Structure 1
Amino acid sequence: MSIENSVASGANIQQEVAALIVEALNLDVAPADIQPDEPLYGEGLGLDSIDILEIALVVSKHYGLQLRADSEDNHRIFSTLRTLSDYIVAAKRAG
């Protein structure tokens, strides 16, 4: 995969994930308004731990990923839209 395709797929994944988040949580924000580096949890988008669990469920179903609740990486993975999207892209490549 070329670097250009890799960047494009990452941007597409960000858009998809933002749409999944908005739909799953019934947020009153457009997916395009979720900034890639804005925190998802607490300040920023203002999600709580239950919201993050819901996102994990939707992401794992949609992308066929195994996300573990006890993973030490979860705080990093779910910190921003970009980190979550990067994780999905990397997991899809590895899988």
Structure 2
Amino acid sequence: MNEKGFTLIEMLVVLLVISILLLLVIPNIGKQQNSIQAKGCLALQKMVQSSVESFRLENEHLPDNLEILKEQGYIATYKCKNKTELSYDKITGTVSIP
């Protein structure tokens, strides 16, 4: 009986190995989510800071707030994916993550 194919035992072993790998990988993905969000927020902060400088060069003054940048099309948003809103110091023109 030399038939090609998998036996039930072989299929169960493969499913067991896949299940074990998933159990090991899924918790690590959850742990990395905070790091990914922080790096994304940092990148947004740098992009908004660049937009503040661009506004300053074109208008010869700093914007009063980040909403002005959004209204004039310099940025699409100033909120991170985790709903953190970037803070802006009008006096120094510095954008920071609270």
Do both proteins adopt the same fold according to a TM-score greater than 0.5, normalized to the shorter chain? no
Which protein shows a greater Rg?
2
Normalised to the residue count of structure 2, the TM-score between the two structures is: 0.36
Normalised to the residue count of structure 1, the TM-score between the two structures is: 0.37
Q: Which has the higher strand share?
A: 2
With CA pairs under 8 Å and 6+ residues apart, which has the higher RCO, 1 or 2? 1
